Amino acid sequence: MNEKRVCLLTGASGGLGRSILRHLIETGYCVIATDVKVSSVRQTVNELADALGESVKDRLRPLALDVRSSAAWSTVWKSSERYFGPIDILINNAGVLEPAYTVDLIPESIDRQIDVNTKGTLYGMSVAARSMKERRHGHIVNVASLAGISPVPGMSVYSASKFAVRSASLAAARELREYGVSVSVVCPDGIHTPMVDGAKHLDEAALIFSGAALLRADDVARLIVQDVLKRRPVEVHIPKLRGWLAKIGSAFPALHAYLGPMLVRTGLARQQKFRVSEKTSGVL
């Protein structure tokens, strides 16, 4: 990249965020890498420097950001613009997943998923939109989920939180287009990350594993950095076929009664394979 472009990334220290960060740096972006614990981000930055060379630290700024705090968003955004200059791109990637059947939900889990996944994204989008609208330039990328297109039994709160992210993203895309600001919402299927790995033993999460295979974080990150940031599409489904199936399921909810049990059985069987693989490899 010939011109300096600045990106603020949330959830940068692990899983998908870590992969996005690496692709951003390899592509030449300056990145404000944030996570709720700055120590985790610094460790990730140091590991990147070991792999790519110490010079990458000149284009990296690790910062603590609790996305649940609107005040923290304002502070981080302003200090980052003083450090790197105007922020061109915001990637709202931070998220939490806590599968549970509705009868087993506890208030703390409801609050955590809505606060991080939904409110955290909305806070960031609002701060970015005001700054980018003024400059008539910018791109906001929100990471949602296929669970934000078609409801997922066993993950009602997570699904609801991502439905909200997708809906807000589509609305904001229409609002901001006339000001030269793009909004993209990325809806991936289950990704092989520590967050999803933690659900391998939960029957409530069976539908995450009902696809042919979990997505690779590196593949999703590459698509976001190499494709989404260039084309600025309003919505992206990964993979496309599962995305269309999710849209059909959302349009015809009655189909869940017929297809749901079959998909759950498939997911449970694949979860069992993961468990057997873990035992064989000595992970457990």
Beta-carbon contacts of residue 58 (< 8 Å; ≥ 6 apart): none
How many whole angstroms separate alpha carbon 32 and alpha carbon 197? 27
Helix (H, G, I), strand (E, B) or coil at 85: coil
The four Cα atoms 35, 112, 160, 178 give a dihedral, to 10 degrees, of -40
DSSP of 28-39 = T-EEEEEES-HH
Q: Which residues are catalytic?
A: 158
CB 150 within 8 A of CB 250: yes
Neighbours of 226 (CB within 10 A): 12
Dist CA 258 CA 254 (whole Å) = 8
Q: How far apart are CA 144 and CA 147, in angstroms?
A: 8
Helix residue spans in the chain (DSSP H): 15-27, 38-52, 70-84, 107-113, 120-135, 156-176, 194-197, 217-223, 229-231, 240-251, 255-281
Residues in the chain: 284
* Contact by Cβ (8 Å): 190, 215: yes
